[in-house]
Structure 1
C-alpha cells in the first residue's frame, strides 16, 4: 500500500515527525516498510505492507488510526461529514447471509470535471481522473476501503428497495429502473448510490436479480466494517452533493439486529507475567506495566474495558474482531503498541534443576540393554497403510499413510526389506513408540517396544562349514539375556493359551504358525516372540529372522526380583550327573517348577544338560540328565552325604511330576 505523507498529515498530527522515525515505529509494530520515495511534487510516498490479519489498515483511514495509536497522536477532526437522515430497516436473521447495506437516491447530478485537489489525490495513486462522480467513488475507496456501486435510474421518481422472502434485494417499482448499460457521463442525472460490506461476487448476484446497472470502478474490494460504512458513505454523500451539486433523496440502511459480540477476558496480572519487566534506567528494581498504562493502550485501540472481579472484560471494536479474540492476542497487541524494544528480553535465571523421573531412567535402561545386544534403534511414523482392522484417519497426509499403526513390527519389517532390496543386508533393529487399537467408537494408544534379530549368516561350529543364521534357541537366548539385564523374571507359554492378546493378533500375519511363543511376567502376557514367516512373496527375504513385540508399560513397572546375596563358602564343590525317567509329555517349565520343591541348603545349582526320548516303551518315557553342584558352608561333603541328597532329589522330582 502507498501512503501519501501530505494526505496522512491531514488525518494525523505529524508535527515534528520524520518519515524515517515513522518507518521505524511501523516496522516494530509488524508492518514492512518497503521503500520511502521523495516525489518531485513535495510529497513523500511510503510503501507499506501489512499482515494478512490486518485488512483494517488497507485504507488511508485505517492506517491513520494505526499510526495515531503508535505515535500517541490524536486524529484530526474531519469536516467532510454531513448530518444525514437515514431510515433504518432491520433484516431478519433468517434471511440469507446479507450484511449491512446502505442505499441513497440522488437526483439532478451535474457530471463535470473534478476539482484540482481531487485530481492530485488520485494522480498520486496513478488513477486517471474521469469525472467528478467517478473520482469521488475512487477517492472514497482509497480513504475508507469502501466500494460504492452506482445504479442509474431513468427518472427522478422515488425507487423503493427492500428484501424478498429469500433474503435478496428487490425493488418495488422496477419500471423506473433502466435495464440498459450506460456509462457515467453528462447525460447521467439520477442515480442510486449503493454501499455494502459484501464481496464482489455477492454484489453481482444482487445485480442479476435487480434490473440495475453498476459501474465497475475498481478491481479489488475489501471487507468494510459497519462503522466505516457509515463514515465513508456519509463523506461520499457530502462530496456528491457539493461537487456534483446533486439533490440527496431518501437514504435507507439495512442491517441485522443480532449484533452481539462476546467480550474477551483479560487479566492484567497475567499480561504482566507474560510480557515481563520493562526497561528502566533510573531504578535498579524491575518495573512492570501499570494498570493505568495498560488501560490507556486498550482505550487507544478503541477497546471498552469493563471490570469483572479479578479480570477485565473487553469489548473489541468491529474492525478488530477477526484478529483480537483471545487473551494472548490482546497481550501481544499491548506489547506491540507499547514497543517490543522496551521490554527486557533477557531470560530470567532459574535456580531449579530438572531431573529425569524413574520412568525415563527405566526406558533408557531398556534401550541401552537392546543396544548392548547389537540392535540399532529406529524410528518410524505412527501411520501406516491399510489392513483389515485399521484405524483410518479422516484427513491423511498421503494414501500411503492413511491409518494408525496397530503394531511396531510392521514398519520394522518394511525397513528391513527396504535394506535387503538394495543389497545392504539384514539389520538388527528395534523401536519404542505408540501403537493404537480400536476400543468401540474410540481408539486407545499404548507404548510398545519391538525389534528384529537374526537374518545374517555368521554362525558356524567349524571354520570349514558354511555360516548359518541363528537358530530359534539362540534367538530365544538373546531375549532371555535382555530380560536378565533388566532383572525381570519371565516365562514362556504357548500361543494357544493367549490368542486374545491384541499384540499377537496384530502381528500374526508376520509370524511362523509353529515357531512362536507368548512371554509372560507373573503369568500375565506382555508380548510375543517368534520366527518371521511372511506369507507375502514381497517379504520372503526375512526367513530365519526373529521378531518380538512387548508392552513397554509392563516392562516399566514389573515385580523385579530382588538381588539375593549368599555367604561364600571356602570349601570345594562336588558336581554329580544323575538321570531320571519322566513321562514323555512333561514340559520343561513343569520340570523346572519341580526343582523349587527340593529344599536342601547344600545344592548350589541344578542344570538340565541332556534329554533322551525312546518310543520303544509303551508309556513313551523320556530320560533327562541333570548336573547338580553341591557345596557346604561348614565342611567338605563326603560321597555318602551326596548320595543321600541325590536320592532325595530323584524322589522329589518324580513325585512332583507324577502329581501334575
Structure 2
C-alpha cells in the first residue's frame, strides 16, 4: 500500500525523517519497498501569472509570454502549449531547475530567435501524469494567500513523501491509513487522531428494504440513500490524496468511496439510485445479497459482460443482479455526471466467499483484496458515517433513508481475552541487551508495548496478565504466542541478544534419518536413480490394490483435475515417469522414490511413508553384439538386484506368492516379509497394462513400507556389522537333485536345507531347473549345490556325509521329494 506522509501526519504526529520512519516500519514487519520523495519532482518550480501573451514572430505554434514570478521585472518565456493565455496562474520552472521526471535542466535559451528564461510546466513534466495536452492552469480559488514566486509544490501535492509498504497476509488492518497510523502510534507513543465521523440522521422520505438471503456470506449490510446531490470533479486535495495512493480520480461521490477504502480499509460502493430503480423495475427498492444462479450475467464497470458461476456473490435490486459483491460494481447502475441520488453500500462480506467469487470470475480488485484478508467488523458503521459526511460536504444532498441488516456477533464476542505469562515471554524471546549486561524483559516492558498496541491488560495472577485484544486486531491476535510475537516486534527484534544458549551439543542424525540415508545409498549403489513426484495425483477409478478409490482422499477445492487427490501409493507416479522417459527417447528408467502416501481408514485420515522403485528395459550399452536387439531384465535378474540391496543393508527378506494388485502379473508377483512382518510387494507389470502404456516386455516394480524397514533395521545387529573371519580351510561341496512339486517354493527348500545342514553348511545355491520329458506332471527337477566348510579344520567325507544325508532326509520327510542324486 502507498502511504502518504502528509495524510499520515493528520492522524499521528511525525517528527522523524521519511527514511527513519521507513526503517522503523520495516523492523516492525512492514517492509517499505520504496521511498518516493515527490518533493524533488518540482524543486525550483514557482507560481507565476501570465501577464501578456503574443504570437511568436517566427513560429505559428509558439507563444511569447510575459510572466510575473515575483521578480522586479516579468520573465519572458516562449511556450508551445495551445491553452496558454493572459491572466492565468501557472507553474514556472525557473532557470537552473532540474525536472527529474523528464530529465531536463532549465537553461536560458533562444527559440526561433526569441529569448526564453524558464518553462511553463504541464502536469507530465512534474511527474503527475504520463501525458498532458497542455500546460497546467491553476484555479484561482486554490491559490488562496499564495503569491507569485511562491513554491508551487503545495498546490500540486508535491510537498509529500510516499512510502510503498508491503504488509503480511494476516494484517488486513494494515491496508488502511488508520491501520498504519495505529502502528506508528504503537511504535512512537504519539497520540492518535481519528477522522471525524458524526452520526447519520436521515430525513425519511423513501423506503429502503434489505433482503440478505446469505447472512453467512454477508453478515452486515448498510444501505444509505442520499438525494439532491450534485456530481462534479473532486476538490484538489481529494484528487491529490487519491493520486498519491495510485487511484484515479473519477468524481466527488466515487472518489469519496475510494478515499474511505484507503483511510479505513473498508470498501464501499455508490449506486445511482434512479438507475437501480430502472434495473429493479419498481420504485419500491429492495437491496439483496445472494449467490448467482445458472445462466445469469452482469456487466461490470470495466465494460465486460461476465457470465456468472454459482460461486459468484451478487448484490441485487429486487432480486436482479447489479454487481459482483465486494469485487466490482455494475455498469448499469454506476454514478455518472447526471446522478442526483445515490444508494451508498457499506457491507461486511465473508473472506472465503469473496475469495471463491473472485477466483471463479478471474477478477481481483483493491476491494476484493481487502475483503479476502478480512476487513474490520467493529468499525463498519464508523466508515459509513465518515463517507456520508464527506459526500454531503462535497456533493451536497441529504440522507433520506438508511437500512441495516446485521447478523454479526455482539460487540463482546469480538473482544478476545488471552492469558499471557511473563515467564513464557522470556522463555520464547530470550535475553535483551541491557546497559551493562543481558537481562530479561520486565513486566513494565510488556505492559507498555501491548498497551501502546491498543490492548487492555489486567493482572490475573502474579506474573500472568489477562490481555483484552482490540476489535481491529481480533482476526490475527488469537493465542498467547501471537501476543509474544507482538511484544518482540514492537520492542524491536534487534534488541534481543543473538548468542547461542550456554548448554549445547553436537547435532546428529536420528535413527530414522540414518537408516533412510543408508537405504538411499544402497539403491544408488545398485544403479537406480532417485526421483521425486508431487504428492497430488489423479483420482483412481479402477484400482483394486491396497488403497481403492473409496479410500482415496480427494481435495474439495483442487487447482487442477490432474492434481485433485492425494496419492495412495508411489507406483502410479513411477509408471508414468517410466512411460514418459520411453516416449522422450531416454530409454528405460531404473529409479526409486521415497514419499508419503495417504488414505482414508476407519480411524480417520492416515499417512505413511513408502519406498518404491521401477526396473525394466535393457540398461546395457553396446547392443551391436546382439544386432541392436533389446535384452530386458528377467524376473530373476530384477529380483537379484533387489536382493543385493537387502543383503547390503542386512535386511532378511522372504518372498511369498501374491496377486492382490491388479496392476501386476498374477503369476510373477511376490509379497515381501521380514520376520513375520509384511514389508511390501515386488512383481512384474501386468501385460495388459504394459500394452496400454506402450512399455517394454518386462518391467518390474517394488513398494516397501519404510516404517517396517526402519523397525527391523534399527537393531544393533543391522546397524553395527560384525566382522566374521574368513576360513583358511578349503570347502567341500555336494550336489543334490530331485523331483519336487511346482507348488513348493525354492525358498522353502533352501530354508529346510540350511536348518538341517547346521553350522557346517555354508551356502545353498540353485543351479538348474528342468521341466519337460521324463519329469512327472506337476513337478520339476531342481539341482542345488551345497557348500560345507569349517573354520578350524579341513572337512573329510566322514564329516560331510552324515550332515549331507541329514539334509536329504529332511527334504524327503517334509516335501516328499524324489531324490535323483
User: TM-score, normalization: structure 2?
Assistant: 0.57
- In the alignment, is residue 302 of structure 1 matched against residue 460 of structure 2? no
CA RMSD of aligned residues (A): 5.9
Deviation of the 1:644 alpha carbon: 5.8
Q: In structure 2, what is the Cα distance between the partners aligned to 1:142 and 1:429?
A: 56
Q: In structure 1, what is the Cα distance between the partners aligned to 2:253 and 2:738?
A: 116
Q: Which moved more, 1:624-633 or 1:540-549?
A: 624-633
Change (3 A) 1:451 1:290: same
Aligned counterpart in structure 2 of residue 489 of structure 1, from 649, 652, 677: 652
Match in the other structure for 2:187? 70
Aligned counterpart in structure 1 of residue 561 of structure 2, from 394, 399, 404: 399
Deviations 1:163-189 (A, max 9, x none): x99999xxxxxxxxxxxxxxxxxxxxx
Q: In structure 2, what is the Cα distance between the partners aligned to 1:138 and 1:458?
A: 70
Q: In structure 2, what is the Cα distance between the partners aligned to 1:203 and 1:454?
A: 61
- In the alignment, is residue 520 of structure 1 matched against residue 673 of structure 2? yes
Change (3 A) 1:532 1:294: same
Deviation of the 1:438 alpha carbon: 3.8
Match in the other structure for 1:293? 445
Q: In structure 1, what is the Cα distance between the partners aligned to 2:777 and 2:692?
A: 46
Deviations 1:257-283 (A, max 9, x none): 822324242333434444444444x31
Deviation of the 1:549 alpha carbon: 1.9
Q: In structure 2, what is the Cα distance between the partners aligned to 1:404 and 1:444?
A: 11
Change (3 A) 1:459 1:472: farther
- In the alignment, is residue 366 of structure 1 matched against residue 537 of structure 2? no
Within-5 A mapping of 1:217-232: none
Q: In structure 2, what is the Cα distance between the partners aligned to 1:658 and 1:56?
A: 84
Change (3 A) 1:199 1:409: closer
Q: In structure 2, what is the Cα distance between the partners aligned to 1:600 and 1:95?
A: 80
Change (3 A) 1:657 1:566: farther
Q: In structure 2, what is the Cα distance between the partners aligned to 1:10 and 1:406?
A: 59
Structure 1 residue matching 2:688: 3-state secondary structure: coil
Match in the other structure for 2:317? none
Asked if the contact 2:200–2:385 (Cα under 8 Å) also holds between the matched residues in 1, the reply is no
Change (3 A) 1:425 1:326: same
Structure 2 residue matching 1:380: 3-state secondary structure: coil
Change (3 A) 1:304 1:513: same
Change (3 A) 1:528 1:203: closer
- In the alignment, is residue 35 of structure 1 matched against residue 36 of structure 2? yes
Deviation of the 1:553 alpha carbon: 2.3
Deviation of the 1:434 alpha carbon: 2.1
Change (3 A) 1:353 1:468: same
Change (3 A) 1:239 1:299: farther
Q: In structure 2, what is the Cα distance between the partners aligned to 1:61 and 1:633?
A: 88
Q: In structure 2, what is the Cα distance between the partners aligned to 1:585 and 1:149?
A: 84
Q: In structure 1, what is the Cα distance between the partners aligned to 2:161 and 2:253?
A: 28
Deviation of the 1:611 alpha carbon: 4.8
Which segments of 5 or more consecutive residues in structure 1 lack a partner in the other structure?
112-117, 153-163, 169-197
Q: In structure 2, what is the Cα distance between the partners aligned to 1:149 and 1:618?
A: 95
Q: In structure 1, what is the Cα distance between the partners aligned to 2:774 and 2:672?
A: 35
Q: In structure 1, what is the Cα distance between the partners aligned to 2:817 and 2:481?
A: 74
Aligned counterpart in structure 1 of residue 161 of structure 2, from 41, 46, 58: 46
Change (3 A) 1:50 1:610: closer
- In the alignment, is residue 354 of structure 1 matched against residue 507 of structure 2? yes
Change (3 A) 1:73 1:101: same
Structure 1 residue matching 2:342: 3-state secondary structure: coil
Match in the other structure for 2:355? none
Asked if the contact 2:271–2:333 (Cα under 8 Å) also holds between the matched residues in 1, the reply is no
Change (3 A) 1:600 1:71: closer
Change (3 A) 1:350 1:427: farther
Q: Which moved more, 1:477-486 or 1:577-586?
A: 577-586
Deviations 1:63-122 (A, max 9, x none): 5554444332335799x8999999xxxx9x99966759799999xx999xxxxxx97865
User: TM-score, normalization: structure 1?
Assistant: 0.68
- In the alignment, is residue 432 of structure 1 matched against residue 585 of structure 2? no
Asked if the contact 2:226–2:341 (Cα under 8 Å) also holds between the matched residues in 1, the reply is no
Deviation of the 1:215 alpha carbon: 7.8
Asked if the contact 2:598–2:608 (Cα under 8 Å) also holds between the matched residues in 1, the reply is yes
Change (3 A) 1:600 1:553: closer
Aligned counterpart in structure 2 of residue 414 of structure 1, from 564, 567, 576: 576
Deviation of the 1:456 alpha carbon: 0.3
Aligned counterpart in structure 1 of residue 342 of structure 2, from 214, 225, 246: 214
Match in the other structure for 2:318? none
Asked if the contact 1:426–1:456 (Cα under 8 Å) also holds between the matched residues in 2, the reply is yes
Aligned counterpart in structure 2 of residue 473 of structure 1, from 627, 636, 646: 636
Deviation of the 1:425 alpha carbon: 1.0
Asked if the contact 2:8–2:181 (Cα under 8 Å) also holds between the matched residues in 1, the reply is yes
Deviation of the 1:248 alpha carbon: 12
Deviation of the 1:426 alpha carbon: 0.8
Structure 2 residue matching 1:352: 3-state secondary structure: coil
Q: In structure 2, what is the Cα distance between the partners aligned to 1:2 and 1:627?
A: 86
Structure 2 residue matching 1:74: 3-state secondary structure: coil
Match in the other structure for 1:261? 414
Asked if the contact 2:775–2:781 (Cα under 8 Å) also holds between the matched residues in 1, the reply is no
Asked if the contact 2:730–2:794 (Cα under 8 Å) also holds between the matched residues in 1, the reply is yes
Q: In structure 2, what is the Cα distance between the partners aligned to 1:625 and 1:61?
A: 89
Deviation of the 1:484 alpha carbon: 1.7
Aligned counterpart in structure 1 of residue 535 of structure 2, from 382, 386, 402: 382
Asked if the contact 1:432–1:447 (Cα under 8 Å) also holds between the matched residues in 2, the reply is yes
Asked if the contact 2:665–2:685 (Cα under 8 Å) also holds between the matched residues in 1, the reply is yes
Deviation of the 1:449 alpha carbon: 1.8
Q: In structure 2, what is the Cα distance between the partners aligned to 1:625 and 1:645?
A: 18
Q: In structure 2, what is the Cα distance between the partners aligned to 1:313 and 1:623?
A: 84
Q: Which has the larger radius of gyration?
A: 1
Q: In structure 2, what is the Cα distance between the partners aligned to 1:337 and 1:166?
A: 44
Asked if the contact 2:415–2:471 (Cα under 8 Å) also holds between the matched residues in 1, the reply is no
Asked if the contact 1:583–1:620 (Cα under 8 Å) also holds between the matched residues in 2, the reply is yes
Change (3 A) 1:4 1:457: closer
Deviation of the 1:220 alpha carbon: 9.7
Match in the other structure for 1:318? 471
Q: In structure 1, what is the Cα distance between the partners aligned to 2:779 and 2:510?
A: 53
Q: In structure 2, what is the Cα distance between the partners aligned to 1:624 and 1:21?
A: 88
Within-5 A mapping of 1:76-475: 99=220, 125=241, 213-214=341-342, 258-259=410-411, 260-265=413-418, 266-280=420-434, 282-283=435-436, 285-309=437-461, 311-344=464-497, 351-385=504-538, 386-388=540-542, 389-390=548-549, 391=552, 392-440=554-602, 442-456=604-618, 458=620, 468-475=631-638
Deviation of the 1:447 alpha carbon: 2.2
Question: How many matched pairs?
Answer: 593
Structure 1 residue matching 2:597: 3-state secondary structure: strand
- In the alignment, is residue 548 of structure 1 matched against residue 702 of structure 2? yes
Q: In structure 1, what is the Cα distance between the partners aligned to 2:383 and 2:229?
A: 24
Deviations 1:502-529 (A, max 9, x none): xx42xx22x2333333332235443222
Asked if the contact 1:37–1:45 (Cα under 8 Å) also holds between the matched residues in 2, the reply is yes
Deviation of the 1:8 alpha carbon: 6.2
Asked if the contact 1:144–1:232 (Cα under 8 Å) also holds between the matched residues in 2, the reply is no
Asked if the contact 1:95–1:165 (Cα under 8 Å) also holds between the matched residues in 2, the reply is no
Match in the other structure for 1:654? 812
Match in the other structure for 1:535? 688
Q: Which moved more, 1:513-522 or 1:617-626?
A: 617-626
Q: In structure 2, what is the Cα distance between the partners aligned to 1:239 and 1:618?
A: 104
Q: In structure 1, what is the Cα distance between the partners aligned to 2:241 and 2:699?
A: 75
Q: In structure 1, what is the Cα distance between the partners aligned to 2:623 and 2:327?
A: 84
Aligned counterpart in structure 2 of residue 588 of structure 1, from 743, 746, 749: 746
Deviations 1:253-307 (A, max 9, x none): 9988822324242333434444444444x31x21343211221222223221133
Q: In structure 2, what is the Cα distance between the partners aligned to 1:541 and 1:405?
A: 22
